[in-house]
Structure formats: C-alpha cells, structure tokens
Amino acid sequence: MTKLSVNINKIATLRNARGGNLPDVVQVAKDVQKFGAQGVTIHPRPDERHIRYQDAYDLKPAVYTEFNIEGNPIDRFMELVLEIQPAQATLVPDTVDAITSNAGWDTVAHKGYLKEIISELKNKGIRTSIFVDPDPAMIEGAAETGTDRIELYTEEFAHQYGLGNEDAIQPYTECAELAHKLGLGVNAGHDLSLENIRFFKENVPHLLEVSIGHALICESIYQGLENVVKAYLQKLQ
C-alpha cells in the first residue's frame, strides 16, 4: 500500500487568519494519524505565512507515524531539520516569494550543492527526498546526489487529467520505473486529489508515499476530515 502523508499547511493558514490557536495544528496532526494517515507533512516558509517554525517543534512529539518536513534548504531550514530530526526531509527549490512549489530541482546543475546538503542530513539519520519534475535526466541526476528518494512533482499530471488527458501519466510511469532501477524510492505530490489519486496510483509503479494537503483539506470542508483521509487510504490500497 502506498503511504498517505497529510500536509497540514492549510490548517495553519486558517489558524493564522484569526490569530489564536484555532484550528490547532497539533491536534489535527494527531487526528489524521488516528484516522489512518501514515505520516504528517509540513512545509515551513521563511515568512511563516502558514506553518511556523515553532509549529515544527510542537509537532515533533505528536507525530508518531512519519514526520516529513519539506522546504528549500536555506540555513534556517537546515538548522530546524537537523535539530528536530524528522523521519524524512524533502528538498524543494521554492523561492522566498513562491505562493506554492512550482518546479522541481535541476539535479544536474545543482548536483554538488544537493550532495552536500543530503550528506549533512543523512549523517543525522534523516531520510532524504528531492522534489523533481518527471524528466529522466533529472532522475538520473538525483541518483548521483546520494538521495534516498525522489518526489515527483505532479501538478502537470493533475491539470491534464482534469482535462481528460490520461496520457499525461506516461512521463510519471517512466520516471518511476527509472528511479526504481537506479535504487531510488518514489514519492509524489502536488495537486493530487480524490479525483485523480486512484488513477495515479494504478499507473505509477513503486510508489511509496504521496503527500497531499490542499486538495485533502478542501475536500474535508464538505466531507469531513476523517471521511476524506479514509477515502484516500482506500484508493491507495
């Protein structure tokens, strides 16, 4: 079964809109795990517009499944991750002012930099994953950095699938096969939803984990958080 890691950034966005601690991100993390999710993901950004750096520390004792912290490995991010030592760190090349992640790493151009960062993380026993576009050259470059896994950036698939273009899955299928051949684990995320997750899972081999936040939280407004988490788990079986 492919694991589900729930990204709770949007819960923090709602909390921050009014101040105070409603909704409580720590309680939500506990709840999604109770409902069956096998992991919790956060993506702190420098402006702390959703998840705050303090949230990462508060969540550490509450996450008893897999804690995945993702972000651009700037100094502050690295200090946070090396101190908390989550199960996994996912490296994402987002700019400071990015609304959301919008590209994978150029693992060829940044190979030396990524190797250095990954070595530092792995020395602390932290599993590493690199956010990449479904491009065979980027997969091959990732394999040379020493990373444990890649995370396939799935926005283009989700957009095309919504237009009825099922062939958009092909690059993801091919890159997952290549990653597995090169000894890399395969994760995926960005705009995956209840509408497209089963098709993605059935057509992307060796898929270890998906990280889903925005769609899952939006769907939960109508269907309830417990119902939605369980629906994802059923589709990922």
- The pLDDT of 130-135, averaged and rounded, is 97
C-alpha–C-alpha distance, residues 47 and 208, integer Å: 31
Query: Tell me: the pLDDT tens digits for 73-83?
Result: 999 999 999 99
**Around Cβ 231, how many Cβ atoms within 10 Å?**
17
Q: Which residue in the block uniquely carries the two structure tokens 């990732």?
A: 142
43 is a catalytic site residue: yes
Range of the domain at 204: 3-236
Write out the DSSP string of 107-175.
TTTTHHHHHHHHHHHHTTT-EEEEEE-S-HHHHHHHHTTT-SEEEEE-HHHHHHHHTT-GGGGHHHHHH
Using CA atoms, how far apart are residues 167 and 161, in angstroms rounded to an integer?
A: 8
Residue 54 makes CB contacts below 8 A (sequence gap 6+) with none
Per-residue pLDDT of 70-129, as tens digits, reads 999 999 999 999 999 999 999 999 765 554 556 899 999 999 999 999 999 999 999 999
Cα of 210 vs its chain's centroid, Å: 7
CB 77 within 8 A of CB 117: no
Q: Are 32 and 8 in contact (CB under 8 A)?
A: yes
Query: CA-to-CA distance for 201 and 125, rounded, in angstroms?
Result: 28
Predicted confidence (pLDDT) per residue in 179-202, tens digit: 999 999 999 999 999 999 999 999
Q: Are strands 66-71 and 3-7 parallel, antiparallel or unpaired?
A: unpaired
The active-site residue, picked from 50, 66, 151, 190, is: 190
pTM of the full structure:
0.95
pLDDT of residue 99: 47
Residues 7, 42 contacting (CB under 8 angstroms) = yes
190 is catalytic: yes
Which residue among 50, 66, 70, 209 is the active-site one?
70
Q: Is the peptide bond before 23 cis (omega within 30 degrees of 0)?
A: yes
Annotated catalytic residue, options 43, 66, 151, 219: 43
pLDDT tens sequence across 137-177: 999 999 999 999 999 999 999 999 999 999 999 999 999 99
CATH of the domain at 135: 3.20.20.70
What pLDDT score was predicted for residue 98? 52
- What is the tally of structural domains in the chain? 1
Tokens linked to 129: 């994953």
Q: Which residue type sits at 10?
A: K
